[in-house]
Amino acid sequence: MKRGLTSAHLAILAAGFAFLYVPIALVVLYSFNASRLVTVWGGFSTQWYVSLFANEQLLQAASISFRVALASAALSTVLGTCAAFALQRFGRFPARTFFSGMLYAPLVMPEVIIGLALLLLFVGLGIDRGFWTIVIGHTTLGLCFVAIVVQARLSGFDRSLEEAAQDLGASPARTFRAVTLPLIAPAMAAGFLLAFTISLDDFVIASFTSGPGSTTLPMRIYSQVRLGLTPEINAISTLLIGIVGLSLLAATVINRLKAPSAH
Amino acid sequence: MGGAPLLRLARVTKAYGDVVAVRDLSLDIPANEFFALLGPSGCGKTTLMRLIAGFETPDDGRIYLDGQDITDLPPHLRPINMMFQSYALFPHMSVEQNIAFGLKQEGRPRQEIIARVEDMLRLVQMVGLGNRRPDQLSGGQLQRVALARALIKRPKLLLLDEPLAALDRKLRHDTQFELMQAQRETGTSFVVVTHDQDEAMVMAHRMAVMRAGTIDQIGAPREVYEEPATRHVAGFVGETNFFEGRVIQYMPGGVEIETSKGLKLEALCRQHPAIGAKVTISIRPEHLRLSAPGVFSNNGGAGEILDHVFREGLSSFRVKLDTGDLVHVRKSVSEGGVQHARGERVFVSFAPEHARALLT
Amino acid sequence: MSARAPLSALRRFVLGAPALWLLLFFLAPFALVLKIALSKPAIAQPPYEPTFSLADGWHAFLDKLGALSFDTFDLVISDDLYLSAYLSSLRLAAIATLLTLLIAFPLSLAMARAPKHWRMALVMLAIAPFWTSFLIRIYAWIMLLKEEGLINKLLLSLGLISTPLSIFATEGAVLIGIVYSYLPFMILPLYNALERQDPALLEAASDLGATPFTSFWTITVPLARSGIFAGVLLVFIPAVGEFVIPDLLGGSDTLMIGRTLWNEFFDNRDWPTASAVAIFLLVLLIAPLMIYERQQMREAAR
């Protein structure tokens, strides 16, 4: 039996990844389309990128989206890491099943339900909707994702490393700082990136939890898409893809660099 | 080695739920000794080691180091260090940083740390490799770094968790001597925890054989080998042959038993069992004689050779006695006259002073 | 492991912070959804009554309690529109999940069989689309599927069809959208389960006389059970309540409950009905949700 890939396997891989990437590639390609009609190629042009930067609304929305993403990703990372530690290290504490149930549920629940529920909460409590309510909504979703990523790292974690540190004289606090934290940092960073992307990308929850003056980028894009396709949307999509792609690349490169460095 | 022991365990007990891992155990270990805790998996030796290191606290009993009660002291405050079975080297630090870690926790000045790390690298023959990372080292090198990391703090006691388990045979052999040398040079008491009786016998000054949470016997390797206190010790430390029977009469220094198949055998006995008491005789393979039928007829049984294996200068025979007992006989080639073939009829016997009758 | 006091102050914070957050911003809201489902719509701000407030006395509270009714629930259960929306959502989600599984399985298998040093890169490649905007990816399909879209252009120019296909604004488009968006969620658990399988198992089967076909169905697939399970749940449950995909790719006759909920809430400003719709959706999903939770527990125990 041959181990490794047969030509059938390669064909499947090629087809599969083509299916995944061709639509995205086309979005990028047609952002350089000179013609206004999105699906008619009229030559190469970067005019839509130029007009993008004159589009106040889109820029405003982008700024809000980025700030929301930054804030919610930061909160998500802290809370999600705490949750991961609680589940992985605290043994069988009371209401553990209940806690982990609450933690996993937002991952699968349809976003319309979560969004609706959050909005009703804010209205019921008399909280004005705006920037921070979106942050709250995104954090609630993001913290679950971070918890999963960090928990995966913790479950494979060699506890004897921490014991060795303590054995050599490091107090539990110093052990955490000198041994545990550096070793889970990549997972926390990956979790942050994940939460950031989810927030940047989210439309449904933002729609429910935003207020006047806090329209996010996906909300803007959505309302424009409903009106019809414009190449400007292609342009901003390409930019977003570029940003995410670059940060993913940066993350991978940083991880590679960390391995053989001295300090 | 007079005076107060370095490490004293007083009636220590530790249970996990229903399972009692260590039961009412007391042990003294003096300074400057290479000590082995030997036993099969599940006997509690690992739990005992973790109790000494401080990663577990006993349910009952106290632990003293140099006269001081350390039972409630957390691991990072005990002057005891451990070499982990998996080495547990910090993957994100270099060899030098790993070794220096313990001294950094003590707050030593930088110059002192650099100097002592250099000394350590020399001691474990890792000079020039200080900048490497754990994932760039071989198994033997990893172990030496782990040893250096633990020894640099000059602990009063060093615990070694199955130190040779991950090494291949040749390396194991060399490492045994390196460890013994390190112990002599530093004067630290080493406590090796292992299931490999060979390791314990070679390296230790004294060893404790454990079973089910308690210690069956403590003594020098030779003493434990030649005068086992229990069946468990006789069977676990080195190879042996067992004959079970009931005491039929007393002999000078020992007893004579009769097995269920009618063999009458004599052996030395440290205790004084009653006539008719159930007793097991332990006789080591190297003490069994093989003779042609008719030459001897005492203290043994007739049988047939099943197979013969030659290994490292020793001839091993498996003999099936007419009574059905299977015995293992070992002779060194230099003893001569060991040409016996498969199927050959022989008489297996032994001198009573080489055998031991055990009650438990 | 080590004998430390179970709930020191630090531990209480580490557990308490996320727990409190989730209680407040995830669990508590659902209680509110239930309460509002029992209210009546009103032309007011907020658009429902009764509204409870801390200023109420006990009597006022009881009065308002009496004003709660199950009217909305009656409506949701009895009205054909909602019923068809629920059924259609379940149907579309199920079909989409099946399609996703059929596409993801061979892909994950090929990824798991790839040489070791390729695998990480392949996994990254499979996950990367997930990191790009969801909205963008749906938008791409609008570009592709419209009558004047790229797929029709291609097929027309190749002469394979004479009139453009109307895939856009049909259930078919919605299915494509769901499959495309949720594919990474199916690939990841499948890949993890398949990658763990010892290749020697198939070699042993072959040695004992099994054809590749038999080996696949009797060994590979059953051993990947947990991955299939996880993937199916990860796709099906959220797909049932999808809003964006049916809204952008579906037609006016494509009924999905997520869209219905949205319309009730934003267009009709009928918060109580929207809440009742949400409650029923939740009830529908309770069973798969419980199964999902149990799966997670079992995985964690391993």
Query: How many angstroms separate the CA atoms of C5 and C7, rounded?
Result: 6
Q: Which residues contact A58 (CB under 8 A, 6 or more apart)?
A: A52, A217, A220, A232, A236
Residues shown for chain B: 360
Give per-residue pLDDT as tens, B266-296.
999 988 899 999 999 999 999 998 888 888 8
Give C234→chain A minimum CA distance, Å. 6
Phi and psi torsions of B6, nearest 5°: -70, -50
Nearest-by-CA chain C residue for B72 = C3
Size of the B and C interface in Cβ pairs below 8 Å: 5
Using CA atoms, how far residue B319 sits from B3, B237, B354, B355, in Å, is 50, 22, 19, 18
- pLDDT tens, position by position, B147-201: 999 999 999 999 999 999 888 888 888 899 999 999 999 999 999 999 999 899 9
Backbone angles phi, psi at C289, to 5 degrees: -65, -45
Q: Rounded to an integer, what distance in angstroms lies between the CA atom of residue C190 and that of residue C127? A: 13
Q: Which residue ranges make up each domain of chain B? A: 7-234, 239-358
Q: Residue B50's closest chain C neighbor by CA? A: C2
pLDDT tens column, B121-162: 998 889 999 999 999 999 889 999 999 999 999 999 999 999
Spell A20-54 as b/e; 16+ CB within 10 A means b. beebbebbbebbbbeeeebbeeeeeeeebbeebee
Output the CA–CA distances (angstroms, integers) from residue C29 to A146, C53, C133, in the order listed. 22, 16, 27
Please name the fold of domain A54-258: MetI-like fold (1.10.3720)
Contact at CB, C18 and A79, closer than 8 angstroms: yes
Low-confidence ranges of chain C (pLDDT < 50): 1-4, 6
**What sign has the CA pseudo-torsion B271, B274, B276, B277?**
negative
pLDDT confidence of B3, banded at 50, 70, 90? low
Say what the pLDDT of residue A24 is: 87
The residue among B262 and A76 whose pLDDT is bigger is A76
Q: Classify burial at A107, counting beta carbons within 10 Å of its beta carbon; exposed 0-12, middle 13-18, buried 19 or more.
A: middle
3-class secondary structure, B328: strand
Q: How far is C-alpha A242 from the chain's CA centre?
A: 15
Structure confidence at residue B1 as a pLDDT band (50, 70, 90):
very low
Residues of B in contact with C2 (CB under 8 A): 55-56
Better-predicted residue by pLDDT, B39 or B297: B39
Report the gap between the CA of B76 and the closest CA in chain A (Å): 4
Interface of A with B in 125-164 (CB under 8 A): 158, 160-161, 163-164
Name chain B contacts of A175, Cβ cutoff 8 Å: 76
The Cα of A262 is separated from the nearest Cα of chain C by a number of Å equal to 25
- pLDDT tens per residue, range C30-64: 888 888 888 777 766 667 766 666 666 677 677 76
Chain mean position to CA C269:
25
CA distances to B130, B236, B271, C39 from C83, in Å? 71, 74, 88, 21
Q: Which CATH class is domain C82-301?
A: mainly alpha
Q: Which residues of chain A have pLDDT under 50?
A: 1, 259-263
CATH number of B239-358: 2.40.50.140
- Size of the A and C interface in Cβ pairs below 8 Å: 246
Chain C residue with the nearest C-alpha to that of A151: C300
Q: What is the pLDDT of residue A45?
A: 81
pTM of the complete model: 0.81
Both tokens of residue C145? Answer: 């599927």
| Interface probe with C: pick from A112, A114, A118, most Cβ of C within 10 Å | A112
Q: Which residue has the tokens 């996993």?
A: A104
Question: Was domain B7-234 assigned CATH 3.40.50.300?
Answer: yes
ipTM over 0.95: no
SS3 for chain A is CCCCCCHHHHHHHHHHHHHHHHHHHHHHHHCCECCCCCCCCCCECCHHHHHHHHCHHHHHHHHHHHHHHHHHHHHHHHHHHHHHHHHHHCCCCCCHHHHHHHHHHHHHCCHHHHHHHHHHHHHHHCCCCCHHHHHHHHHHHHHHHHHHHHHHHHHCCCHHHHHHHHHCCCCHHHHHHHHHHHHHHHHHHHHHHHHHHHHHHCCHHHHHHCCCCCCCHHHHHHHHHHHCCCHHHHHHHHHHHHHHHHHHHHHHHHHHHHCCCCC
* Contact state of A165 with B81 under an 8 Å Cβ cutoff: no
CA end-to-end span of chain B: 31
pLDDT at B25: 96
Residue B262 has pLDDT above 90, yes or no: no
Q: How far is B81 from chain A (nearest CA, A)?
A: 6
Please give the share of chain B, as a percent, with pLDDT higher than 70: 98
